[in-house]
Amino acid sequence: MKIWIVSSALLFSAAVFAQKTTTEIPKNWYQLDRAASGYYGISLDKAYDFIKAKKLKSKQVVVAVIDSGVDTLHEDLKSILWTNAKEIPGNGIDDDHNGYIDDVHGWNFLGGKDGRNVKEDSYEGARVYTALKAKYGDEIPADSTLTASEKNEVELYKKAKEKIVGQVNPAETAFLRQLLPGFLKGDSVIKKEIGKEEYNCTDLEKFTSVDAAANRTKAFLLQLCKANSSNELSNKQIIDELQGDLRKADAADHAPEEYRKEIVQDDENDINDRFYGNKDIMAATPFHGTHCSGIIGAVRDNGKGIQGIADNVRIMMVRAVPDGDEHDKDIATAIRYAVENGAQIISMSFGKEFSPEKRWVDSAVRFAESRGVLLVHAAGNDAKNVDSTDNFPSPVYLDNGQKATNWITVGASGDPQTGSITANFSNYGKKEVDVFAPGVQIYSTIPGGNNYGNASGTSMACPVVAGTAALLLEYFPTLSAKQLKYIIEKSAVAPDTEVTIPGTTDKTKLSELCVSGGLLNAYEAVKLAATIQGDRQAVNEALPKSKITKNKKG
């Protein structure tokens, strides 16, 4: 999972993903109305004015955020965390018999029963390459010798080998190996002199040092923050990404480290072994999930921090995304957990190029579809056309090629003041990306109890859409997941100018980059929702009994 728009390509070359901010823009630009403010926001205040004029009443909506964790003590989030009313906190008993002990605000599928947590993980392509190399060897076997299932495996092996071996850039890898030790040396000095283990560019603006290594690290981090239009990019995120890119490069010659196996201790090859993990949904990596959660539902009108998009939601955190590529089993199990425990919308700001157990994820998506749960997924930050490039998880079912009806894929938009209407890093696709939503310089909650800051990525655009979907469902509770998808796409507003194709300087209509051809607009969405008769099927409020039998580890 690439959280930040850093990438080794940006580090090594000409900052191809950079977004230049020409002027200071409002912190809430993404919620503003273009006609009133000039900014390409989602017209959120107009949406609330419409709701108020119609005298509509809201019904609480549960939004699951499958992510890296959340700051459960944040002033703008702690009161809107989902609470499992059937679970007694801290008694060590599975009170509601759902298979998870003390899951009060959600669950952590990257944890061990001993309380330890997975922080970092390997690249999925490396995991696939290593496993299939062990099976087939260095030479790709001829198709004539293979069964149908083996042919599919060999195609996957070819793709993984090309990614791991064929696309390794020795010069870039050498640059990273040279860069990292110096960055770490300066980082250790800065941490000591500032008195903080994690710091960002705001902290560095007034920081001075007589140490040369510290000054080089400062200059490098400030350069990255400028390129990413975010002063909140921290030393920790940079180190994690540099180390992750080096792990990818090392995979050509070394099997990836099994970070998850020793801690979680489930049977990763058995999807039925699903009652694993622990209750620690904050863990040590809550930045990404905290930021996404605030975008969706940070408490409105409390005089603190920011205004979340939806005003009557509960955030269920399901931790399944490490610093690295997520595992298909964890994502499939996380989706099932969210659905079984009452989530109506699931926000998924993660992605990868390989999905060796896609059938497990497909099964979970079908389960969500059968329960009327909307899935909102980030398109990815590689400036690629995902009509022709893999980006998982995806809504296209492996067994029949059909698309899930309850799935929205979101590209990231910006504003001319942040660089361009389409974020230069965003993936796109006329068939596979449904809508674009603000994802550049998005101000939201960050860990620390009362901290706020900017972040950029389709990871931010995804919760903007999830929050808008939650707002619609609050005030129009009979809308089905399929109808929510229809409304969001149909009400999207096409910009009155051509946009830049991400990663290039070429121009085109937005209709060439996404299904709807438009930018998310909450006001137009609530207006359209008011004209539609909802067809949501009544769902039993009681937790469904699992059809999966616990094994001896459960």
- For 206, half-sphere exposure in the C-beta direction (CA atoms, 13 angstrom radius) is 3
CB 473, CB 61: distance < 8 Å: yes
Residue whose token pair is 């930021």: 291
Q: Residues 36-79: pLDDT tens digits?
A: 999 999 999 999 999 999 999 999 999 999 999 999 999 999 99
Going by their DSSP bridges, the two strands 507-508 and 499-500 should be labelled as: antiparallel
- DSSP H or E stretch at residue 435: strand 435-438
Nearest to 268 by CA among 330, 324, 359, 356: 330
Q: How far is CA 355 from CA 150, 160, 244, 317, 390, in A?
A: 16, 11, 19, 23, 9
Would you state the structure tokens that stand for residue 136, as one six-digit string?
A: 């087939």
Name the region of 137 (left: φ>0; alpha: ψ -120 to 50; beta: rest).
Answer: left
Below-50 pLDDT ranges, the chain: 1-22, 540-554
Three-state SS at 61: strand
Rounded-to-integer distance, Cα 336 and Cα 350, Å: 17
Rounded-to-integer distance, Cα 389 and Cα 351, Å: 12
- DSSP H or E stretch at residue 220: helix 212-228
Nearest to 517 by CA among 490, 499, 494, 500: 494
Residue 549, pLDDT score: 41
CB 62, CB 344: distance < 8 Å: yes
Residue 23, pLDDT score: 57
Residue 538, pLDDT score: 56
Residue whose token pair is 């390794």: 168
The separation between the first and the last C-alpha atoms of the chain, rounded to the nearest angstrom, is: 28
Instruction: Domain ranges for the chain, please list them.
Output: 26-118+275-529, 124-250
Q: How far is CA 458 from CA 55, 348, 389, 423, in A?
A: 34, 10, 16, 9
Nearest to 39 by CA among 26, 20, 23: 26
Residue whose token pair is 């994502």: 331
CB 321, CB 346: distance < 8 Å: no
Residue 254, pLDDT score: 84
> pTM for the whole thing?
0.86
Count CB neighbours of 185 within 10 A: 15
Q: What is the DSSP string of 63-120?
A: EEEEES---TT-TTTGGGB---TTS-TTSSS-TT-SS-TT-SSEEETTB-TTS-B--B
CB 40, CB 412: distance < 8 Å: no
CA–CA–CA angle 140, 141, 145 (5° rounding): 165
Residue whose token pair is 């290594």: 213
Rounded-to-integer distance, Cα 110 and Cα 33, Å: 40
Which fold, 26-118+275-529? Rossmann fold (3.40.50)
Q: How far is CA 340 from CA 207, 376, 541, in A?
A: 49, 17, 10
Write the secondary structure of 151-214 as one string of H (helix), E (strand) and C (coil). Answer: HHHHHHHHHHHHHHHHCCCHHHHHHHHHHHHHHHHHHHHHHHHHCCCCCEHHHHCCCCCCCHHH
Residue 409, pLDDT score: 98
